[in-house]
Amino acid sequence: MNEKLEKAINDQINAELYSEYFYMAMYAYFDRMNLQGFKNWMNVQMQEEHAHAMGMFNYIHERGGKVILDKIEQPKSDWSNPVEVFEDVLKHEKYVTSRINDLLDIAEEVNDRAAVSFLDWYLKEQVEEESNVSNVLKTLRMVCDDKHCLYMMDKDLASRTFNPPVIG
Using CB under 6 A as the criterion, which residues of the chain lie in contact with ligand OFO when the complex forms? 16, 19, 49, 52, 93, 96, 125-126, 129
User: Minimum distance between the CB of residue 54 and ligand OFO, rounded to whole angstroms?
Assistant: 11
Nearer to ligand OFO, 16 or 144 (CB): 16
User: Minimum distance between the CB of residue 10 and ligand OFO, rounded to whole angstroms?
Assistant: 15
Q: Count CB-CB contacts under 10 A for residue 11.
A: 16
Contact 72, 46 (CB under 8 A): no
Nearer to ligand OFO, 110 or 167 (CB): 167
DSSP H stretches of helix in the chain: 3-32, 36-62, 82-109, 113-138, 147-157
Q: Residue 2: which of 68, 63, 70 has the closest Cα? A: 63
Nearer to ligand OFO, 4 or 124 (CB): 124
User: Minimum distance between the CB of residue 93 and ligand OFO, rounded to whole angstroms?
Assistant: 5
